[in-house]
A and B are shown apart, each in its own frame.
Chain A
Amino acid sequence: MSFASFAEFIAMGTHGPYVWAAYGISLAIIGLNVALPLLARRRYLQDEARRMRREESK
């Protein structure tokens, strides 16, 4: 462990705001890149199933 306490870990020397801003932005972008395709797939499958049911009932 490179830090003596949790408070020191958060402070990152004097560089806390820089380190945490960089990590925060990056993790948010990574999360978005995973979540959006998953949601799009879900929506597509539901729409497509509805369309197929409509065509069958005709």
Chain B
Amino acid sequence: MNWTWFHKWGSPKWFYEMSGRWLPWLSVAAVLLMAVGLVWGLAFAPPDYQQGNSFRIIYIHVPAAFLAQSVYVMLAIAGLVGLVWKMKLADVALQQAAPIGAWMTVIALLTGAIWGKPTWGTYWVWDARLTSMLILLFLYFGVIALGQAITNRDSAAKACAVLALVGVVNIPIIKYSVDWWNTLHQPATFSVVAKPAMPFEMWMPLLLMVLGFYCFFGTVLLLRMRLEVLRREARASWVKAEVRTQVEKGL
């Protein structure tokens, strides 16, 4: 197998140039998918026969919860790559993805609480799904705090990678919590193997929103990583040239 594609990721300059080319596409896809999904889900999808219109919260709750868990898995993968191959860009990705993941967990928890009130009669219960999601938020806080507390960049990268890898055990617990324990939370909305238990006009906008949230994450992650690469490589001549051209363009 040819590994040159992998080695290219070791070059910050290559990443900066490529990500600059991907950004317009990703951001346009995010805006389009989320706009269509939002209007479709809010105004055109039929109301749920049991939950009425409160079910429309699903169109942000589920994508945010998906993303919150996927981002943590990404953190663990980036941590592993950083530990094994000492790739600096992996640490940049880990540090820059963590705050986005934390914000997505906040969205999932808040919209879940708001949805819970009319549906369950309570904002919060200490059951397995909700508690394991709260633990996910604390794991994100741990990674962010650890990264900022350690001034030596290599030590910080190592510590964050280990925490991300250890914490990933929480992800299957979140996923299977609705099967393993009694809970108020409804079971999984989407399954890879089964047909959705919802009509097309209900699940299609949800699928669009999930894809839109992933594109949104990609866009924001690249924005954050590009800035961090400029900061870390500030002494390189290509960064100085890039700063000059950007400032001449009037930003």
Contact = CB atoms under 8 A, between A and B. Distances in A.
B61 A19 contact: no
**What does DSSP make chain B's interface, helix, strand, loop or mixed?**
helix
Contacts of A2: 43-47
A7 to B, nearest CB: 13
Given A19-B56, A25-B111, A33-B220, A45 B251 contact: yes
Contact of A15 (B54, B100, B111): B54
A18 B227 contact: no
B188 interface: no
Contacts of A33: 100, 103, 216, 220
A34 to B, nearest CB: 6
B107 A29 contact: yes
Interface string B214-251: 00100110011011001100100000100110110001
Contact of A1 (B43, B60, B115, B246): B43
B111 A48 contact: no
Contacts of B46: 2
A56 to B, nearest CB: 10
A14 B46 CA distance: 15
Nearest to B220: A33
Contact of A29 (B43, B103, B240, B243): B103
Interface in A12-58: 12-16, 18-19, 21-23, 25-26, 29-30, 32-34, 37-38, 40-42, 44-46, 48-49, 52
Interface of A: 1-3, 9, 12-16, 18-19, 21-23, 25-26, 29-30, 32-34, 37-38, 40-42, 44-46, 48-49, 52
Interface residues of B, number: 40
A18 B227 CA distance: 37
Contacts of B117: 18
A3 B227 contact: no
B43 A37 contact: no
A19 B47 CA distance: 12
A41 B23 CA distance: 15
B227 A44 contact: yes
Contacts of B60: 22-23, 26
Interface string B89-111: 00000000000100100110011
Interface string B27-65: 000000000000000111111000011101100110010
Given A9-B42, A25-B110, A34-B216, 11 more contacts: A1-B43, A2-B45, A13-B52, A18-B114, A22-B60, A26-B110, A29-B107, A30-B216, A34-B219, A37-B224, A41-B223
Given A25-B110, A40-B227, A19 B57 contact: yes
B115 A22 contact: yes
Contacts of A25: 107, 110-111, 114
B114 to A, nearest CB: 5
Contacts of A34: 216, 219-220, 223
